[in-house]
């Protein structure tokens, strides 16, 4: 008799759970973006990789104007970052290291600039702004997007991710690529970890089909940000 009572109780609880699951509202794009904005507001460190495809984007590094091809680096909250930037200068591919320490910017661009040296970079180029509350990911997620749609779940580099599409004005989301985004309307594809709500990848497509891809990984792992006396 006791076994029958226990079985009935288990079935009743299961039915209640299934009913609750069935009536629970599914996640919307806005839900996912809001939760992601909260998580991205609270990160300590993260590593990033940017890649440019399409029309060149010029940047004055102080040693001449170069075209940015991509960058790989690390960010430390609240406003420190270091990146190795791949650039094209006079048909040659080279690398420059840029260090952001608060409002100070340092450049290392061998052989012209062999050590980190204070520079006045183009005011629009600041990788640390990617994570800033007022212009970076948290702002973009909640205030800068339109036509948002949750299109499904996909695997990105082994991470199950919500895939969201959206549109935005390029100027309002320029911080997502350090500020070097051509003006005009853009399309966005955003992939967000289904468990942690950390941003995994951003794909920004400009009107001429040129793209920026931003990959974010190794959240809150130890990073090495050089210091300059």
State yes or no: pLDDT of 62 exceeds 50: yes
What is the reported pTM? 0.85
Could you write out the DSSP letters of every residue in the chain?
A: -HHHHHHHHHHHHHHHHHHHHHHSPPP-HHHHHHHHHHHHTS-SEEEEEEEEESS--EEE-SSSEEEEEEEEEEEETTTEEEEEEEEEETTEEEEEEEEEETTEEEEEETTTEEEEEE----TT--GGGGG-TTTSHHHIIIII-EEEEEEEEEEETTEEEEEEEEEEEGGGGGGGGTT---SSEEEEEEEEETTT--EEEEEEE-TTS-EEEEEEE-TT---------
- Mean pLDDT computed over every residue of the chain: 86
Residue 74 is predicted with a pLDDT of 97
Structural domains in the chain?
Answer: 31-217 (2.50.20.20)
> Residues 12-38: pLDDT tens digits?
444 544 544 444 568 899 999 999 999
Residue 16 is predicted with a pLDDT of 44
Q: Using 50, 70 and 90 to split pLDDT, how confident is the model at 111?
A: confident
């Amino acid at each position: 008799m006791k076994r029958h009572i226990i079985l009935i109780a288990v079935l009743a609880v299961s039915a209640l759970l299934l009913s609750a699951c069935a009536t629970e509202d599914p996640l919307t794009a806005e839900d996912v973006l809001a939760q992601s904005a909260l998580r991205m507001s609270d990160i300590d460190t993260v590593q990033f990789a940017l890649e440019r495809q399409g029309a060149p984007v010029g940047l004055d590094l102080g040693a001449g104007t170069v075209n940015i091809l991509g960058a790989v680096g690390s960010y430390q909250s609240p406003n420190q970052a270091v990146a190795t930037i791949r650039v094209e200068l006079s048909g040659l591919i080279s690398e420059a290291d840029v260090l952001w320490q608060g409002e100070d910017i340092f450049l290392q661009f061998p052989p012209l600039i062999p050590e980190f040296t204070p520079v006045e970079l183009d005011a629009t180029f600041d990788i640390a702004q990617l994570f800033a509350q007022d212009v970076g990911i948290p702002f973009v997620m909640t205030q800068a997007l339109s036509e948002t749609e949750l299109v499904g779940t996909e695997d990105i580099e082994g991470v199950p991710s919500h895939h969201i599409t959206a549109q935005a004005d390029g100027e309002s989301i320029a911080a997502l690529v350090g500020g070097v985004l051509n003006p005009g309307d853009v399309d966005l594809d955003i992939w967000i970890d289904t468990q942690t709500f950390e941003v995994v990848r951003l794909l920004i497509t400009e009107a001429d089909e040129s793209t920026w891809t931003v990959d974010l990984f190794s959240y809150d792992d130890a990073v090495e940000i050089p210091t300059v006396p």
